[in-house]
Structure 1
Amino acid sequence: MSRTSAFSIDDPALDCPVSPEAVGRLAKADPRAVKELVDGIPESTRARLAVWLYGRSHTHEIGVRVAETCDGTSLRRAGGLIGNALYDLSRRPYTAPTHGTRATGPARISLGGTRRSA
């Protein structure tokens, strides 16, 4: 029987497969240096790290870059469907997420409600 660990709501860092210091080095590093930083980490741990990083908005891009160093099988084993999607994302040029941004000018907000014709 295979057992999967649940994510901790109290302390998400407990679910991280590497030390907080290693995550800090990855977060501060130039994106092109990620491959060198994860070079000594076993692939199964790198795959879990990629899924963990990808699941957080502030480390999303780093997760994709770590996933570039993993094969599809490892990512699928670590993250299931998310690992599969992460594998696909990591094999094409990275584009930053657009959620929370507007393509057009600022929105016009009215607190006055709608006008009714008499």
Structure 2
Amino acid sequence: MNRAPALSVDDPVRDCPVPPETLGLIARAEPESLDTIVEGIPEGVRARLAVYLYGRSHTHELGIRIAATCEGATLRRAAGLVGNMLHDLSRRPYSPPSYGQRGASRISLGGPAARRA
């Protein structure tokens, strides 16, 4: 059984399956040009890159977009159940994140008495 190497908190660049220059190019890419950039990367490396990016909150969506360029079996080999879940996520229609859009409550720095006034 192939196991994905553990990610290190100490040196995240060491865990990235592509060189830092390539990662920077991918991170700055426009959504329309992302496929062109990643098409030259072998699928196994792309799958590991998708898992790497998905595991970080600021590149979460980028990881899903790259996972969409991989086969399910390749993602499963790269990350087991996480790869399987990532494959499923990447096949769903895109929906923008809804961070903080639930019920917005009023906040007062004056405490309860200020709200009654």
Taking structure 1 as the reference length, the TM-score comes to: 0.83
Name the CA distance, whole Å, in 2 between partners of 1:15 and 1:63. Answer: 15
Please give the per-residue CA displacement for 1:71-94, whole angstroms capped at 9, x wherever unaligned.
000001111111111101111122
Aligned to 1:104: 103
Higher helix share: 2
1:50 and 1:67 in contact (8 A); partners too? yes
2:51 is paired with a residue whose SS is helix
Q: How does 1:58-97 map to 2 (within 5 A)?
A: 58-97=58-97
How large is the RMSD of aligned CA atoms in angstroms? Answer: 2.1
Identity %: 54
Is contact 2:67-2:75 (8 Å) kept?
A: yes
- For 2:110 and 2:9, how far apart are their aligned partners in 1? 37
Q: Is the contact between residue 7 and residue 15 of structure 2 (CA under 8 Å) also seen in structure 1? A: yes
Q: Secondary structure at the match of 1:80?
A: helix
Figure out how many residues of one structure are paired with residues of the other and give that number: 113
Tell me, which stretches of 5 or more residues in structure 2 are unaligned?
113-117
Change (3 A) 1:81 1:96: farther
Aligned to 1:39: 39
TM superposition shift of 1:8: 1.2
SS at match of 1:40: coil
- The one of the two structures with greater contact order (alpha-carbon pairs below 8 A, sep at least 6) is 2
* Structure 2 partner of 1:116: none
Relative to the length of structure 2, the TM-score reads 0.83
